[in-house]
Chain A
Amino acid sequence: MNSAADMGGMHGFGPVVPEKNEPVFHEEWEGHSFALNMVTGVANLWNIDAFRFKRESLPPPEYLNLSYYGLWTRTLELMMLEYGIATPEELKAGHAIAPFKQAPRAVTAADCDNMVRCARPFSRPAPGPALFKVGDKVRAKNMHPKHHTRLPRYTRGHVGEIARIVGCHVFPDSNASNLGEDPHWLYTVRFDGHELWGADSDPKVRVCIEAWEPYLEKP
């Protein structure tokens, strides 16, 4: 979807303001918002693409005005409601309201330690040969799906070059809608700044993205 999250190339947000000696979390609750997002992931309550889709589906004014972890907490609430983990009454009350179903097994510290350390790759066996090879010119499709996608708007319709064949990876467009992992070939595609931003832009800038095969076409 063309959401507020897709902000590459937008103007008006002002300068980047780095913070000296920035703490990992600015408030205690931010650490908890973060940890809750991780544990719900470990518990496999939903997949990461579905979570991203929910987050970017918020109305743009709300998305753009929430703080970073505020956005996570808001998304967690919505996911818990959608996946039947909590009711609106429970979120309002701040605790479980009987009768409720106990989870089959709780995520433990050992599970989390495992998640932090061990690889959980997104690569999958290839269903067939890759359509493009390194050096091929490709056009990012001009597509505007209503579902989750990871093809930024600023690249759509533009011609780039395959810089690398990454492998065959879980396809977010399908995964986010719980339609399965539907793995596709993934490429690093390199675009010239001129192609993306026009003749007046800096001639020495290039932008690379990862694009799944269904995002690309022969120019």
Chain B
Amino acid sequence: MAYDQHDHDRLELSETQLRVRALETVLTEKGYVDPAALDLLIETYETKVGPHNGARVVAKAWTDPAYRARLFKEATSAIAELGFAGRQGEHIVALENTPKRHNMVVCTLCSCYPWPVLGLPPVWYKSAPYRSRAVADPRGVLKDFGITLPKDTEIRVWDSTSEIRYLVVPMRPPGTEGWNEDKLAELVTRDSMIGAGLPKSPKDVK
């Protein structure tokens, strides 16, 4: 009896599926797109580019103070040193979480997201609940992720309205002294680089 969003979605989806196939056929026939390019694009974002890139950046910033300084001064080039650059990451700014300040990234107007370091955004990042509430009630949103910050922690929300893309550098978890970059990178979650999560605890990796 209730409005069933699911049924609605299913119907819509099958129709969209058919239209996508039809359009791909026509665009390929007309020579506007190269089918091999399509496959490569999908492969790139499905397997190559993803949060593991960002995790490398964060782990290096945790262990290498000179790199950390470069990252906060000029993130785009510091990140390019590790080979990550390009589409939807032409102008990257790194945001430093501290015990007093927590950063959180959103795009209220669409879904801007730093692709070269985090890959494509998850559905929740693009959803109306996140986009509508992150700017007005970030603490409430963090609760949806099971996170409660101390009341006096400043929360800085960054709404990605231009082509600047933001990457949160979370705080290095205690108990990771002497860890190498590879091991540290395993602690860095995607959500911690958006500001909707924290890195894993060292216990989870040992």
Report A's interface with B, CB cutoff 8 A. Answer: 60-62, 66, 74, 77, 91-92, 144
Contact = CB atoms under 8 A, between A and B. Distances in A.
B128 A92 contact: no
- Chain B facing A: main interface SS: loop
B37 interface: no
B1 A60 contact: no
A144 B3 contact: no
A62 B1 contact: no
Contacts of A74: 3
A91 B3 contact: no
A92 B1 CA distance: 7
Contacts of A92: 1
5 contacts: A60-B128, A61-B128, A62-B5, A74-B3, A91-B1
B42 interface: no
Interface of B: 1, 3, 5, 128, 136
Nearest to B3: A62
Contacts of A60: 128
A144 B128 contact: no
Nearest to A65: B3
Contacts of B3: 62, 66, 74
Contacts of A66: 3
B1 A144 contact: no
A188 to B, nearest CB: 29
Nearest to A60: B128
A91 B128 CA distance: 30
A62 B136 CA distance: 22
B14 to A, nearest CB: 19
Contacts of A61: 5, 128
A68 B78 CA distance: 55
Contacts of B5: 61-62
Nearest to A77: B1
